[in-house]
Amino acid sequence: MPARSRTTEPLYRIKADLFKCLAHPTRIQVLEVLAAAGDDGASVTRLLEVTGCEASQLSQHLAVLRRTRVVTSSRTGNAVDYWLAEPLVAELLVVARAFLLAGLRPGSEQLRAARELPPLPGASPQAVLDAIAARA
């Protein structure tokens, strides 16, 4: 039997690959930095500063994100800049944050820490939570 090509894989397998790609705190942090940067993108230097990773570690994380087509990059000389490949990735981050906030106990240390995270562009987690509450 011939191997399945990427285009014929079931959608659930492709989704699983996406979620595996997102299954590391550093990659989530990188994506949030890129979401906040918008069309300006972020340089590898900036991503190194924010994440505190070694260059080789960050390179591996960025390779995973590129392989799953979540980010794109552009090289100018020695400088490499990254962007979200699709604005929907930023929305996914907002929804994920709202989902996590909804599950935290009021007054918990995690909730306080989550509210101190930098804002993501687009809908705020609170707006998503309010929309969910309005439907209930």
| pLDDT tens digits for range 64-73 | 999 999 999 9
According to DSSP, the residues that pair with 69 across neighbouring strands are: none
Q: Of 123, 71, 72, whose CA–CA distance to 97 is shortest?
A: 123
Tell me: pLDDT of 115 over 80. no
Amino acid occupying residue 87? P
CB 92 within 8 A of CB 65: no
- Measured in residues, the chain has a length of 136
Q: What percent of the chain has pLDDT over 90?
A: 50
**Torsions phi, psi of 60, nearest 5?**
-65, -40
| pLDDT tens digits for range 76-92 | 999 999 999 998 898 89
- What token pair was written down for 53? 């990773």
Lowest mean pLDDT among 56-65, 105-114, 127-136: 127-136
Specify the pairing of strand 71-76 against strand 79-84: antiparallel
- What token pair was written down for 27? 């990659």
Query: 10 Å Cβ neighbour count for 59?
Result: 13
pTM: 0.78
Amino acid occupying residue 28? I
Rounded CA-CA distance 52/45 in Å is: 10
